[in-house]
Amino acid sequence: MKALASAEAPVGRWRCEIKFDGYRALAVLNSGEVELWSRNHNLLNTDYPEVVAALARVKCRSAVVDGEIVALDSAGRSHFQLLQGRELGERPVIAFYVFDILHLDGKSLTALPLEERQEVLRRVLKKTKFPLRLSPWFDDVEPADFLDSAREQGLEGIITKRLGSSYESGRRSGAWLKCKVVGEQEFVIGGFTPPQRSRPFFGAILIGYYQRGKFLYAGKVGTGFNHDLLKLLHGEFLKRKRAECPFLNLPMERRPRFGTGMTRTEMKKVTWVKPELVAQIKFTEWTNDGLLRQPVFLGLRTDKAAKDVRREVGAVSASVKRAA
């Protein structure tokens, strides 16, 4: 089940949860055997053995649970950049926050109301230990106030879930809403510029998203990289070089006032790549020209197919308006 991006926190009685900044995963438990699957059907067992080992100790015959694999900072906050660091050989603290259960001991629970499913989940995880954690939920709070608290604590945002709702596999029905404190979503890499000054390998990446089958340019990102990332990404880019620009809305006829435009002259310096690599990008807002302001690279994503990357309309305007 997927959450729908919302420009405003909803009004009324919703169950509020913290929005984690990591990899969504479904865990399939069967008689002590565990399979940990990403949202694009990649098996994650070898990537997160500590999570698999903890899931294997859950006391049940079989189950399917839904959650988020995260890397935690010293204050216990999740950061996608820390997950990227793990892939480069660093050792952040990993946790699996579980927030829903779909099956238990051969019985489907997806038709049950949200509250009943999560009470079942609480019982199933009662005696489990870190890195498994039950994702906390809050009912007696206004979603707008909860979003304000998330902002004050430096969290990515919140998830609100309609009380009484069933689990709708693969759907984005609006029964779950996500409200972000800062702009952050996936984009697809379509090219890179040459290195400048003392930076090696490349200067910036060009990113975009798909809309009705068209690959559209959203901006140029030149921050968020260290030496190891520059080297790793450059190697991946060279495997995917192509002669033609993949963005259907380039060149831009004029340089925009905000954002990073791409005119015909600037395009001559770009090396184009097949739009296959998905990057997580943080930014302040979308401009009227459809470009990102102040984008920052957070890491590569391996849990989402490039063709599934869309612009999340409204997710940023909420944080911009409420902070204004």
Residue 289 is part of a domain; what is its CATH number?
Answer: 2.40.50.140
Q: Which of 101, 134, 167 is the last residue of a domain?
A: 134
Q: Give the chain's domain count.
A: 3
Question: Do 13 and 110 belong to one domain?
Answer: no
Question: Do 228 and 309 belong to one domain?
Answer: yes
Question: Do 200 and 303 belong to one domain?
Answer: yes
Q: In one letter, which amino acid is 1?
A: M
Cα distance between residue 174 and residue 186, in whole Å: 20
Cα distance between residue 198 and residue 85, in whole Å: 23
pLDDT of 301: 93
Question: Do 15 and 39 belong to one domain?
Answer: no
Cα distance between residue 305 and residue 115, in whole Å: 32
Contact 139, 146 (CB under 8 A): no
Question: Do 190 and 299 belong to one domain?
Answer: yes
Question: Do 78 and 211 belong to one domain?
Answer: no
For 201, 227, 255, the CA distances from 265, given in Å and listed in that order, are 21, 28, 11
Question: Do 173 and 77 belong to one domain?
Answer: no
Q: What is the pLDDT of residues 134-188, one digit of tens each?
A: 999 999 899 999 999 999 988 889 999 999 999 999 899 999 999 988 888 999 9
Q: Which residues are CB-contacts of 176 (< 8 A; sequence separation ≥ 6)?
A: 1, 2, 3, 4, 159, 160, 161, 162, 165
Asked if residue 315 has pLDDT above 50, the reply is no
Asked if residue 190 has pLDDT above 50, the reply is yes
CATH of the domain at 84: 3.30.470.30
Question: Do 197 and 56 belong to one domain?
Answer: no
Long-range contacts of residues 80-89, Cβ cutoff 8 Å, at least 24 apart: 80/21, 80/22, 80/280, 80/298, 80/299, 81/224, 81/298, 81/299, 83/22, 83/23, 83/299, 84/229, 84/298, 84/299, 84/300, 87/299, 87/300, 88/228, 88/229, 88/232
Question: Do 193 and 312 belong to one domain?
Answer: yes
Q: What is the pLDDT of residues 16-29, one digit of tens each?
A: 999 998 999 999 99
Question: Do 168 and 312 belong to one domain?
Answer: no
User: Which residues carry out catalysis?
Assistant: 19
The domain containing residue 105 runs over which residues? Answer: 21-134
**Among the listed residues 16, 18, 36, the one whose alpha carbon sits nearest the alpha carbon of residue 26:** 36
Question: Do 44 and 173 belong to one domain?
Answer: no
Q: Which of 124, 151, 181 is the last residue of a domain?
A: 181
For 49, 56, 170, 301, the CA distances from 44, given in Å and listed in that order, are 8, 14, 19, 13
In this prediction the pTM is 0.78
For 47, 167, 229, the CA distances from 235, given in Å and listed in that order, are 21, 41, 10
Question: Do 60 and 149 belong to one domain?
Answer: no
Q: Which of 65, 99, 134 is the last residue of a domain?
A: 134
CATH of the domain at 155: 3.30.1490.70
